[in-house]
Amino acid sequence: MDFSNLNDGHIKQLEAQGCSAENWKKVFLKDTSNSYLKRLKNVEFIGNVKIGDFKENLGIKNTTIHNCEIGNNVHITRVNYLSNYIIGNNVRIENVNTISVNEKSSFGNGTLVNVINESGKRKIPIYDLLSSHIAYILAIYRHRTKAINNINKMVDSYIKSISSNIGRIGNNAKIENCNQILEVNIGEGCTISGASKLKNGSINSTHISPVFVGSGVIAENFIISSDSKVDNSTFIKNCFVGQACILDKNYSAVHSAFFANSQGFNGEACSLFAGPYTVTHHKSTLLIAGIFSFMNAGSGSNQSNHMYKLGPIHQGVVERGAKTTSDSYLFWPAKIGAFNLVMGRHYLHPDTSDFPFSYIIESNDNNSFLVPGVNLRSIGTIRDAKKFPLRDMRDKKHRLDYINFNLLSPYTIHKMINGRKILKNLLSASGELAEFFSYNGMKITKKSLIKGIQLYEKAIQKFLGNSLISRLNGVEFISEEHIHSKLKPSTTDGIGKWVDVSGLICPLQLLIGLLDDVENNKIISLNQIDKTIEKWHKNYYEYEWTWAAKALEEFYEISLSDITVKQIINIVEKWKKCVIDLDHLIYEDARKEFSLATSIGFGADGDQKEKALDFLNVRGDFESNDTIQEIKNHIIKKTKLGNKIIAQLLNIKTKQKV
């Protein structure tokens, strides 16, 4: 902008309007016309001040401004002290005590957050572009000292690049009815309304993905990412709030990191690593010293992280998709498997990581009962899997976290293979007459054990069949040799163990390779790390097939390099049966939601007929329910797909005979 100095006439007019300056020579205005100057009333100028143009009805009134550069078309009124800021265009600031940068600041970047373990041994430095994956590496892979130190140096370099004595308020921001805002960068389109105190932070709002910070909020040493909302007396200190997160209704969090689409209402978090879609909505719910993702915490859910001996040194791992019922309790250390449901209180440090999709139920003698695989037939699990992608509120063009939503993947299937083997060994070792089996301090009934083996086998066959059919679908079969070439993996990446890097499912060997490259200075920037992780995400299905191909050979005791049409048809037939069997189990589980017992409370003043009518009008008919229709359509769709593949394969056999 071109700015103008003020002459004696301009100064005289401004002073007549209640304005004053420490030194008028340091005040520069876009315009010095009479109509422009009239828009400045009761303004005290201290230090260097530059002010842009105004539209009609906009201006600056009843405000003290110190060392600021202000853009066009702003409206600033009743601000006691506005200091050391560059303010964008179309900004509205009204009725605020203090907005100030008093010292050189990194605006929350570099704040050390003691996630997972309150002792601080897993602390991560937060920064504007922190992803759940880099945070996971920094927190979990502490034993890779050189790699962690190198990544921390990359973060330090970024922090130095953005540190400044001057804060920024982006275009179209709105700040009103607030008390103190100190050393805070505020992005475009941000609305801050009624906040009590914001100190040392960054609000990374954008025009497309605005951030809202509401009434009574107190935040210190923080970063709030795009598309997020923090409101209603929420308190956060030493926290990272990822994209599209909501913290609301008096939520309290210290030394915690929340990643994409996580939500915290009413309760409390301490040293929490909340991976994508960690949700806690209830009062008296505490999430402490643990790592979670795709998790839903029931009311009153709680954990303990010390034994009153050496302090809060213990921690817990709750793998993706777990749920806790009301008043559940876990005594850390413990490790809860993927898509487990935790019911009741558990004191004996359960480890169910090899038993995904299971129930953990409190017993009367303080033991825990494990019901393996039972969640595979739960309508709730399927509903969760479908809703997660639909609830991604992040802007599609700018996402920090790469999220894989697959319910069945090499990550969960590998665990099922291990779990199935463990259950078979327990059955073999204890004999057919045993009614109860013990594993890691948990009890398993014989009925649950046998059912768990069956459910895992169905899920394994379903996944392997899915992978095989996905590889063959759309291919015009010419011969068995042609099929063999199509089934050959295009990469060796994917063999071995897979891990869930806080939302991103990938082969462990790739993660280890990344750490090696960081240690050897082949990767020297945060951007390179992010691009590498993005590549893993994009290539997921290629890696999945590499893993699935080997698993198919081991599970069915075949070789894909010389597999026959008959063997493929056999696998597809088993796949089709497992898909249908599991869908029928889910169908029957859903039917329970429409049972007589669930109609209690309907037709409160009427007879049985009115109860049924009230239930029908509120809940709807079972067969016409959207989810039930989806299950039916899924059975039809997969049956047709299986029959189509089989017909194509039989056609090859016909050609070969000819």
Give the tens place of pLDDT for each residue, 265-284: 999 999 999 999 999 999 88
Pairing of strands 27-29, 329-331: unpaired
- Residues 583 and 568: their CA atoms lie apart, in Å, by 22
Q: What percent of the chain is predicted at pLDDT more than 70?
A: 94
In Å, the largest CA–CA distance within the chain is 105
Single pTM value for the model:
0.93
Report, as an integer, the average pLDDT of 182-204. 98
Confidence of residue 658 (pLDDT cuts 50, 70, 90): very low
Which among 326, 312, 255 has a CA at the least distance from the CA of 284? Answer: 326
Report, as an integer, the average pLDDT of 208-230. 98
- Residues 449 and 470: their CA atoms lie apart, in Å, by 31
Q: Is 633 helix (H, G, I), strand (E, B) or coil?
A: helix
Check residue 101 and give its pLDDT. Answer: 98
Among 26-35, 519-528, 643-652, the range scoring the smallest mean pLDDT is 643-652
The three-state (H, E, C) secondary structure of 167-191, written as one string: EEECCCCEEEEEEEEEEEEECCCCE
Alpha-carbon 121 to chain mean position: 23
Check residue 123 and give its pLDDT. Answer: 97
- Sheet containing 329-331: which strands, arranged edge to edge? 302-304, 329-331, 345-346
Containing H/E element for 50? strand 40-51
- Residues 291 and 438: their CA atoms lie apart, in Å, by 27
Check residue 517 and give its pLDDT. Answer: 98
Which among 350, 343, 340, 502 has a CA at the least distance from the CA of 415? Answer: 340
Alpha-carbon 543 to chain mean position: 23
Read off φ and ψ for residue 386, nearest 5 degrees.
-80, -30
- Name every residue whose Cβ is closer than 8 Å to that of residue 88 and which is 6 or more positions away in sequence: 71, 168, 169, 170, 171, 172, 173, 188
- Residues 292 and 334: their CA atoms lie apart, in Å, by 12
Task: Report helix angle 565-591 to 626-657, nearest 10.
Answer: 170
Q: Which tens digit of pLDDT belongs to each residue from 323-359? A: 999 999 999 999 999 999 999 999 989 999 999 999 9
C-alpha angle with apex 509: 508 to 510, nearest 5 degrees? 90
Check residues 626 and 404 and name the one with the higher pLDDT.
Answer: 404
CB-CB contact of 41 with 17 (8 Å)? yes
Which among 29, 146, 22 has a CA at the least distance from the CA of 83? Answer: 22
* Mean pLDDT, the chain, whole residue set: 92
Which among 44, 55, 35, 167 has a CA at the least distance from the CA of 102? Answer: 167
How many DSSP H helices and E strands does the chain contain?
14, 36
CA distances from 344 to 5, 203, 331 (A): 72, 39, 12
Check residue 567 and give its pLDDT. Answer: 95
Check residue 175 and give its pLDDT. Answer: 98
- Residues 451 and 432: their CA atoms lie apart, in Å, by 14
- What is the 8-class DSSP label of residue 351? B
